[in-house]
């Protein structure tokens, strides 16, 4: 994999952050429709900053699963951050407390950009923090805007918001499929989610996908088909 | 305190724990770090599947599926991400407006 300059990756982070802001708006709209108080929706965005988990949270309330169901499905979705957070902790600067704070900026979108700027085993910390902070700002602002216009907009499905989600995930996934390992993991994740989804709600299919990805990752790493050994996983 | 506020605090605490555990624990072994490389593609593929299936065995061929199909073609053509996302949403919205 050719290493890209962080500058170009940060430039690529702008449209991603804008997309995160737009999804923040849809989160605010959907959350308002689910009957959750607006200030609590924004508070969740400020403190949690985990888009898919927050959508699982909202959908749990919308379908009457209640507070415990919302915590469980959102929390299961976030178990993947155990792994990404552990990788990020190896490259983030500072002591434990500072890394703990900076690790909160790790989300799928910032992580993917940081991997693109570095390697899967060593994501670029500068891109991770800068893109993560920008996305957090857009996510919180978007959430607040979504809450404000939630009652005016009406049905979010009318505007195609529901199709925007898989479209975003597809657009984020495609550039990662540059090696056989990554394609194997993506296929395994898709199959695992498809098999589990009809039986289990919320975050369980995604936990199955995460497990498939962990099991199917070769020792060579899923996204680095032919990198020099000194650039791959030289953990210091 | 309301149930939703309790849930907000509960999910926030869980997320902080998940994201921050790696910073608090001793450094993880290198093989584990390499193994986690497969998480992002597997999860993104899983998210696409759960979105499209929506709890069913087969995807419903509706406006949302049409938007996803358009996004798939655009991603394959390496169209920039915002264009892909907006186009997918716009196709779904347009089909619903026409229906």
ipTM value for the complex: 0.79
Q: Please report residues of A whose CB lies closer than 8 A to that of B86.
A: 164
Mind listing the pLDDT tens digit of every residue in chain A (236 residues)?
Answer: 334 446 676 677 888 898 889 888 888 887 887 789 999 999 999 999 988 788 778 877 776 667 876 787 677 667 778 878 888 888 999 888 999 999 999 998 898 889 888 888 899 999 999 999 999 999 999 999 999 988 786 676 777 877 877 887 798 788 878 888 889 999 999 999 899 988 876 567 877 888 898 889 865 544 443 333 333 333 32
The Cα of B40 is separated from the nearest Cα of chain A by a number of Å equal to: 7
Q: Which residues of A touch B11 (CB under 8 A)?
A: 44, 48, 53-54, 57, 70-71, 74-75, 78
- Could you tell me where the DSSP H helices lie in A66-179? 66-77, 80-91, 96-102, 108-117, 125-153, 161-173
Across the interface, of A104, A112, A164, the residue whose CB is closest to B40 is: A112
State pTM to two decimals. 0.66
Q: In whole angstroms, give the CA distance from residue B64 to residue B93.
A: 8
Q: Is B55 left (phi over 0), alpha (psi -120 to 50) or beta?
A: left
Chain B interface test: which of A109, A163, A202 (most B C-beta within 10 Å): A163
For residue A199, give the DSSP letter: T
Alpha carbon distance B85, B15 (integer Å): 27
């Amino acid at each position: 994999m050719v290493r890209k300059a962080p500058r170009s990756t940060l430039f690529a982070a702008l449209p991603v952050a804008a997309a995160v802001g737009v999804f923040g708006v849809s989160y605010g709209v959907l959350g308002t429709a689910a009957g959750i108080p607006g200030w609590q929706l924004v508070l969740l965005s400020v403190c949690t900053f985990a888009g898919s988990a927050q959508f699982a949270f909202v959908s749990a309330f919308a379908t009457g699963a209640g507070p415990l169901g919302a915590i469980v499905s959102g929390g299961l979705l976030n178990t993947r951050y155990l792994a990404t957070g552990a990788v990020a902790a190896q490259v983030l600067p500072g002591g434990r407390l500072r890394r703990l704070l900076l690790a909160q900026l790790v989300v799928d979108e910032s992580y993917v950009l940081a991997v693109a700027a570095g390697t899967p085993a060593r994501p670029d910390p500068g891109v991770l923090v800068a893109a993560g902070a920008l996305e957090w700002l857009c996510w919180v602002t978007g959430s607040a805007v979504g809450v404000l216009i939630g009652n005016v907009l009406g049905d979010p499905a009318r505007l195609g918001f529901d199709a925007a989600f898989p479209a975003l995930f597809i657009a984020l996934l495609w550039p990662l499929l540059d090696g056989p390992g990554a394609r194997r993991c993506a296929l395994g994740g898709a199959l695992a989610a498809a098999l589990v989804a009809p039986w289990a709600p919320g975050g369980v299919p995604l936990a199955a996908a995460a497990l498939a990805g962990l099991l199917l990752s070769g020792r060579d790493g899923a996204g680095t088909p032919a990198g020099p050994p000194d650039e791959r996983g030289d953990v210091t | 305190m309301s149930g939703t506020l309790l849930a907000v605090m509960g999910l926030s605490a869980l997320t902080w724990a998940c994201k921050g555990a790696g910073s608090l624990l001793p450094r993880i072994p290198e093989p584990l770090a390499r193994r986690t490389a497969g998480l992002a593609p597997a999860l993104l593929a899983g998210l696409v599947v759960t979105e499209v299936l929506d709890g069913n065995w087969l995807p419903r061929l509706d406006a949302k599926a049409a938007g996803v199909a358009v996004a798939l073609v655009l991603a394959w053509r390496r169209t920039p991400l915002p264009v892909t996302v907006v186009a997918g949403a716009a196709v779904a919205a347009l089909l619903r407006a026409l229906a």
